[in-house]
Amino acid sequence: QAHEGSSYASQKDHHMSLHRLEHVKSRLGELEKIKQEHLRQKHSGIIRTYSLPEQSHQPHTPQQQQALTPQPQQQQKQRDQQREQQAQL
């Protein structure tokens, strides 16, 4: 135990403060690395979603896609034609 008037306690506090400071700096560095990695993944994900329509491995071109999935106006025309055919029968 330190005797009265000793600077041991303040030196110990100072040492522990420096130790905590180094630990915090280390942890902040780790968190910054994680943040940068997430930003890279997010950025590459955005690039991937924008580049998907341009890639050649898509199953259908946009024109084929439109032909396969009728638009609402085309669907209405088809319904009208079906009604006309049924009315003629």
Q: What per-residue confidence (pLDDT) applies to 15?
A: 96
Residues in the chain, overall count? 89
* 8 A C-beta contact, residue 21 and residue 14: no
Tokens describing residue 14: 């100072």
Q: What per-residue confidence (pLDDT) applies to 46?
A: 66
How many helices and strands in the chain, by DSSP H and E?
A: 3, 0
Domain ranges for the chain: 1-58, 59-89
CA 59 to centroid of chain Cα atoms: 25
DSSP-assigned letters across all residues of 2-35: PPTT-SHHHHHHHHHHHHHHHHHHHHHHHHHHHH
Q: What per-residue confidence (pLDDT) applies to 66?
A: 52
Per-residue pLDDT of the chain (89 residues; tens, 9 = 90+): 556 677 888 999 999 999 999 999 999 999 999 999 999 988 787 655 555 555 455 555 555 555 555 566 667 777 787 777 777 76
Q: What per-residue confidence (pLDDT) applies to 68?
A: 54
